[in-house]
Amino acid sequence: MPDATASVLLLGATGQVGHALRRTLAPLGAAYAPGRAAVDLTDLKSVREAVRELGPDLVVNAAAYTDVDGAEEEPGRAARINAEAPRVLAEAARAVGAWLVHYSTDYVFGGGKRAPYTEADAPSPISVYGRTKRDGEKAIRAVGGRHVILRTSWMYSRRRSNFVRTMLRLAGENDRLTVVDDQIGVPTWAGWCAEATASVCERLLTGGDAPEAGCYHLAGTGQTSWYGFARAIFAQFDRLDVTVEPVSSDEYDTAAPRPAYTVLDSSRARAAFDLPGVPWTAQLARFRKRVRAAGGEHVARG
């Protein structure tokens, strides 16, 4: 186990993964999770000062500009949060000798493959969001220091805007929905991601045989389309009264283009950090059980 006096700086603690990380990181040491008023990623000075003043052993950055369509309208803000802030975090973490754990996305890939992407595949983003996240990765690598970049995909939870909540909300308003069937990826439950991240962080803090710095994919096994995901959601939440019809991306207009295929191969992370391979369907089932246990039948509103 890591040193009980280890200190952790967690950014983005109100987001989907960040909120779950508050629980999973707690056994690793004293955690400081400042709100946006204290550390605003658009204010690079506050980012730098937070790391310098705390002098943590570990910095976990779960904050990001994640509005894929919004980034097309606010490229400067997206770049500041997704690329410039991670660079400053990497510099500050290196200065105090801390590990930096930073999340990235499957959208750094352009979707041209038809086999799961590995860490050896070159990013080729097709949206502003994807480009700013790629630039954040590049900035962290350029700084060097002790860092781990975790690419994940299709995140959902009971918090914030995400596909699961959107589908359940729409199911309450309509008995027939159309969902894109030609974009393929791996859904990821934020609770599982936070648990896996805690295992990664524990290995980093123990030292010794800690895996090397770099980029790792962190997603479950299997793959599906948004249409397939929607059908699985309605099956889990007993909404079989809703009819779901598949449509192509051409029939669904968005401000930002979406890659057609972004399945992540996470075998490297599983081997490096001794993580189990968990199917995305099993993650969804656990999420449903967690919602039921919390008495939260109305996840679309919660």
CA angle 208-212-218, nearest 5°? Answer: 115
Q: Which of 65, 103, 107, 129 is catalytic?
A: 129
Picking from 28, 29, 9, the residue whose alpha carbon sits closest to that of residue 18 is 9
261 has catalytic annotation: no
Q: Which amino acid is at 252?
A: Y
In the chain, which ranges are continuous DSSP H helix? 16-24, 44-54, 70-73, 75-79, 85-96, 128-143, 163-171, 190-206, 226-236, 267-273, 280-293
What helix, strand, coil percent values describe the chain, rounded to 5? 45, 15, 40
Give me the long-range contacts of 169-175 (CB less than 8 A, separation at least 24): 169/300, 169/301, 171/234, 171/239, 171/242, 171/300, 172/300, 174/242, 175/241, 175/242, 175/243
Beta strands 224-225 and 184-185: pairing type? antiparallel
DSSP result, 128-168 = HHHHHHHHHHHHHHHH-SSEEEEEE-SEE-SSSS-HHHHHH
Report the C-alpha gap between 216 and 103 in whole angstroms: 10
Active site members = 129
